[in-house]
Amino acid sequence: MSEEEVKDLMTQAVEMYLKGEESRLVKGDTFDGRLYTEQKYEILGSFGGQRFDTDLETIYGRDKSTFLVSEQTQGVGTSISQN
């Protein structure tokens, strides 16, 4: 996936977080599939947030990913974590 596709996927996850959505179909130039969440909070080291998962069909085959969306209320940090 390109950096732009990753940013789009994360933007969609943030939209889902804000709207309280549990699942959404996603599509990019090199993938299509499902983005979903069980709306559970998880912690990875010192970073915590709502967990999102993907089941994707890519140009290279099937793939899965997991990432966290964190609410940053003090304006600290970048829009997308580099972790």
Q: Is residue 35 part of a domain?
A: yes
Number of domains, the chain: 1
Q: pTM of the entire structure?
A: 0.79
Q: Do residues 20 and 28 touch, judged by C-beta distance below 8 A?
A: no
- Name the residue range of residue 9's domain: 3-69
User: What's the pLDDT tens digit per position in 18-37?
Assistant: 999 999 999 999 999 999 99
Q: Do residues 12 and 35 touch, judged by C-beta distance below 8 A?
A: yes
**Bridge partners (DSSP) listed for residue 32:** 27, 57
- The predicted pLDDT at position 71 comes to 76
Q: Is residue 19 part of a domain?
A: yes
